[in-house]
Amino acid sequence: MNTLARQLRATDYFTLGWGTMVGVGWLVIMDDWLLRGGALGALLGFVIGGALLLPIGWVYGKLVVAMPDAAGEIAYTSAVFSRPISFATGWMMTLAYFIVCPWEAVAVGRIAGYIIPGLDSVELYRIAGHPVYLPHLVIGLGLTALLTILNYRGIRLSATFQNWTSFGTLALFIIFVALGVSRGSPANIQPLFTHTPLISILLVIQIVPYFMTGFESVGKAAEEASPDFRTRGFFRAIWMAILIGIAFYASIVAAVAFVAPWRQLTSQKFMTAVAFQQAIGSRWIVNIILAAALLSLFKCFNGNFVAASRLVFALGRRGMVDARVGTVHSQHQTPSVAVLCVGLATAACMLLGDAILVPVTEVGSVACALGWSATCAACLAIARARSDVMKLSSAERAVAWFGLAVGVAMALMKLIPLVPGHFSAKEWIALAAWIVLGLAAASPAARKTPTRKSAA
């Protein structure tokens, strides 16, 4: 039986976790963030929402060390819960990662159109009032094909790509933020909140799960660690990804609000770039921002592609969906069929164009919150029923319970109609479609057979 190649190091796990988390939302929909919360509301929303994820990150760190399995949440829940629960958890987390891939494939076309306005031409059709341009589709499909080939041919190629794009993004981010802030003014920050302070912060916290999911992707590549890799490195990579992710989002929100009067720019396309251009008074700063955005897009797309393909692979390997997607390429030692499935599905979904950008943010937030909740519940159950796998002290159980409460609360904030910012009809339809697709894809065994052991 072929196994996955073991070639990843500590740096690779950090760039996978952080790179999967941070994409181009900070450029593409900064207006949505600031309109939700205002300058201070958006900043506090990301800081508080990110800090609430630290207990969940701790739970994932414990579980990855105890059970280094590419199945991630599927393996953790399979150890103590029924097979249908394990499948449902894995299917939801697959959505959380996969849904980012067409998002980024669409976003790269929008960014390219901003750089070269002539690309916003040859309109093919419209969806929900949003035009879909031929050049945008060609660029998005081309990037999807590139990452599919990269991941098909080997994890080392994918990891090297992830490292260069992640550190390149951080370097350019530091440069343009420092330059822009030097020209900003505190007077630009108003209004601090767009609603009451509590509602403003709550509306931003609701989308934090989508924009900060990715730290747990470290576990999806756990089987591909180099033989000399120390398992505690998984824990450190997860926590570093969360902490640097919080710092990144807080910094960019504060910077955009500080460099220009943001309330006047929310109708502008890519208001982040427009704000810095106003502050500096020159187009060259925009070029730096767009270069950082493209690198960030590439790494986020690639990281989510890796995570989604590993979960699809794990579902097939455990017989929860068609077993053919659980095969490993004999030469490249990659989950080749799962990679092709994710690539083809991404290409199909991106045909929906810009209309998917905001709705997928909302659905992705709920999907990952549900997956986090199930993982925290599994951690508590494993410690109680499978002490041979993992033990928790009283304090550690409290952390896991807190993580479970956070995950459930983040899901309920979007699902309960009485809460501001709850799901609209479009999000309910998208979530229902994914559930129906899961029922159709699930093997008979995934629907009925309980299990207490992780599958090989």
**Per-residue pLDDT reduced to its tens digit, 131-165:** 888 999 999 999 999 999 999 998 888 899 999 99
Tell me the residue length of the chain. Answer: 456
Q: Which string of b and e fits 115-127 if b means at least 16 CB within 10 Å? A: eeeebbeeeeeee
Considering only residues 1 and 66, tell me which one the structure prediction assigns the higher pLDDT: 66
CB atoms within 10 A of CB 336: 20
The pLDDT value recorded for residue 447 is: 62
CA-based nearest residue to 378, from 74, 18, 11: 74
Residue 187: enclosing H or E segment and its boundaries? none
pLDDT > 90: what percent of the chain?
Answer: 47
The pLDDT value recorded for residue 75 is: 92
Considering only residues 29 and 90, tell me which one the structure prediction assigns the higher pLDDT: 90
What's the rounded mean pLDDT across residues 66-73?
Answer: 88
Are the CB atoms for 205 and 410 separated by under 8 Å?
yes
- Provide long-range contacts, Cβ within 8 A and 24+ apart, for 417-420: 419/202, 420/195, 420/199, 420/202, 420/203
Q: Which of 196-200, 301-305, 352-356, 446-450 has the lowest mean pLDDT?
A: 446-450
The pLDDT value recorded for residue 121 is: 86
The pLDDT value recorded for residue 279 is: 87
CA distance linking residue 216 with residue 61, whole number of Å: 8
Task: Tell me the pLDDT band of 358, cut-offs 50, 70 and 90.
Answer: low
1-5, 65-69, 375-379, 436-440: which is most confident = 375-379
Under DSSP, the state recorded for 175 is H
pLDDT in tens, 123-133: 888 887 778 88
The pLDDT value recorded for residue 267 is: 85
CA distance linking residue 68 with residue 31, whole number of Å: 39
Instruction: Write the single-letter amino acid at 281.
Output: G
CA distance linking residue 43 with residue 79, whole number of Å: 38
User: What domains does the chain contain, in order, with CATH numbers?
Assistant: 10-445 (1.20.1740.10)
3-class DSSP state of 233: helix
Phi, psi of 9 (to 5 degrees): -115, 180
The pLDDT value recorded for residue 455 is: 39
What's the rounded mean pLDDT across residues 422-433?
Answer: 83
- In this predicted structure, the answer to whether residue 285 has a pLDDT above a threshold of 50 is yes
Are the CB atoms for 98 and 308 separated by under 8 Å?
yes
Mean pLDDT (the chain, rounded)? 88
- In this predicted structure, the answer to whether residue 204 has a pLDDT above a threshold of 70 is yes
The pLDDT value recorded for residue 25 is: 85
pLDDT in tens, 315-340: 999 889 888 988 988 888 889 999 99
The pLDDT value recorded for residue 449 is: 54
Task: Tell me the pLDDT band of 456, cut-offs 50, 70 and 90.
Answer: very low
CA-based nearest residue to 392, from 383, 404, 401: 383
Cis omega (within 30 of 0) for bond into 417: no
* Residue that the structure tokens 């609603």 belong to: 195
